Structure 1
Amino acid sequence: METQVSEIADGIFRLSTYVPDIAPPAGFTFNQFVVLGEEPLMFHTGLRKMFSLNHAALVRLLSPERLRWIAYGHFEADECGAMNEWLAAAPHATPAHGQTGVDVSLNDFSDRAPRILQDGEVIDLGAGKRVRFIDTPHTPHGWDAGVLYEESTGTLLCGDLFTQLGNDRATTDGDIVGPAAAAEDIFRYSALNPGMGATLRGLADLAPRTLALMHGPAFTGDGSAALRALAEEYDRRVTSELRERLPSAA
């Protein structure tokens, strides 16, 4: 395995590790993102066992010691498993997440005191880069779930939203909702709940131009339309689940 580096928006880079043994024959990608600026930020640390691969990829962009922020989507091994390894390599970096994530996980897990990000809070990374934290509880899963939106490029760092199989390209302007629905059928990874559609439509109002997927290619195009289509897909699944389960519970 090796970690590939691709620029998906101005000053935003995707570090992608493809694992063919997960869901073969298509395989599965694990992506991290680095937002450059005067205070560079990494979104997702990757799995602890992939740290050496990802570290080797990052040094092609910048010295790890320059990292100032390390954030992630929700508490799970591929999102933050290598947090402490990165903190050791980046002595000036601060781990950051939302209130729930810090209270229930990061305060204990992190070797360095974390920064609590309030819903809607913006971190100015300098050099024109600004990232906004947005709470998305239980969307797609995890009560601590959240995303980051880089305002200057219109890039939404999506976490596990739109998860899909394969490794055919770093970016796409094609359909990402159909492949995400297919992956949902396989993994059933989403915490289906009635609020998912509203949460995704709220993200669509940002009108993102790039959707940075943790598992899959980065999407360039009408991010609002893709998010609204995903909201409709989840609304359909929630309604279907309720119709199946309510009669048997009566």
Structure 2
Amino acid sequence: MGVTNPQAGTRVDEIGDGIYRISTPFRDLPGGFSFNQYLLVDDQPLLFHSGPRKLRPLVQEAIASVMNLKKLRFIGFSHYESDECGALNELLGLAPEAVPVCGRINAMINGDCFDRPPRVLADGETLSLGRHRVRWFDTPHLPHGWECGYLMEEATATLLCGDLFTQGGADLPPLVSSDILAPSEAFRQPMDYFSHTKNARALIAKLAAARPTTLACMHGSAWQGDGSRLLLELAESLDA
């Protein structure tokens, strides 16, 4: 794939079979930053995270470099926040058959904000996209938001892990196998956006039990390796 908008630096990279990372760098922020979305191309394509509303033209352009946007069927997100779903309704307007995908709490407290009724997934429920199948995990307050949850693509063992391993920097590689825990913890600690729910370890253990081998991070590089081990190391770091 590669760069889809040279001016903004938005690029698309396939990080797994039919799974594309869309990433836009923000070099003017101190230390740099990035916003990632993940596109699962299948019979019923799914986009995880819409990006902020102002990024919609760049996300739209990036999707169009891979597939026809009008064929998008689902737009999922971890929790209700601008960078997760700010462009959701605008993208729904461009994809006439698409609907939001979220957990039950999100539908209950935020459903009125969606231009179309969401496809609501219970904890552990799966949704078939064709070759791919995603499973929803309720993870309230991990890292923040009562409605928070994640999708796991089971054919590729890819966990769409939202803000769990946020890395600073604007020009990080699309996919790495090197350490991302240390840089993500170094980024977290000065502002500490984690809720530190008393259930954090149990919720992380639930994600680790799914045995992901790719962690699709919303900010920074995606990561490949023993995802269970890395998630449990995150739990240890949070306890410390």
Task: Give the TM-score category using the shorter length.
Answer: over 0.9
CA-CA distance at 1:202 after TM superposition: 1.4
Q: TM-score, normalised by structure 1?
A: 0.91
Please give the secondary structure, in 1, of the residue aligned with 2:204.
helix
**What amino acid maps onto 1:131 in structure 2?**
V
Which deviates more from structure 2 when the two are superposed, residues 76-85 or residues 159-168?
159-168
CA displacement, residues 62-117 of structure 1 (integer Å, 9 cap, x when unaligned): 01101001110000000000011100010000111001101101x21111111211
User: Is 1:129 aligned to 2:132, yes or no?
Assistant: yes
Partner Cα separation in structure 2 for residue 92 and residue 152 of structure 1: 24
What is the CA distance between 1:12 and its match in structure 2? Answer: 0.4
Q: Please state how far the C-alpha of 1:234 moved relative to its aligned partner.
A: 1.0
**Counterpart code for 1:177:** L
Indicate yes or no: 2:190 matched with 1:186: yes
Residue of structure 1 in register with 2:12 after alignment: 5
Aligned-residue offset at 1:186: 2.7
Q: Secondary structure at the match of 2:89?
A: helix
Whichever structure has more helix as a proportion of its residues is: 1
Q: 2:221 aligns with which of 217, 224, 228?
A: 217
Shift >3 Å, 4+ stretches: none
Q: What is the alpha-carbon distance in structure 2 between the residues aligned to residue 230 and residue 217 of structure 1?
A: 16
Aligned-partner SS, 2:20: strand
RMSD value, Cα:
0.9
1:88 maps onto 2:81 in alignment: no
Identity of aligned residues (%): 46
Whichever of the two has the greater Rg, that structure is 1
Asked if structure 2 preserves the Cα contact closer than 8 Å seen for 1:194 and 1:235, the reply is no
- In 2, the alpha carbon distance for the partners of 1:135 and 1:2 equals 33
Given that residues 165 and 183 in structure 1 are in contact (C-alpha distance below 8 angstroms), is that contact kept between their aligned partners in structure 2? yes
**Is residue 2:168 matched to residue 1:165?**
yes
Given the alignment, which residue of 15, 27, 47 partners 1:20?
Answer: 27
Secondary structure of 2:50's counterpart equals coil
Number of equivalent positions = 232
CA drift of 1:195 comes to 1.1
Give the Å deviation of 1:21.
2.0
- In the alignment, residue 209 of structure 1 is paired with which amino acid? T
| TM alignment of 1:91-106, pairs within 5 A | 91-105=96-110
Per-residue CA deviation, residues 171-209 of structure 1 (Å, 9 max, x unaligned), is 110111111111111331111122111111211111111
Match of 2:48 among 40, 43, 51: 43
Amino acid at match of 2:212: P
Query: 2:228 is aligned with what amino acid?
Result: S
In the superposition, the TM-score normalised over structure 2's length comes to 0.95
What are the ranges of 5 or more consecutive residues in structure 2 without an aligned counterpart? 1-7
Q: What residue identity is the alignment partner of 1:158?
A: C
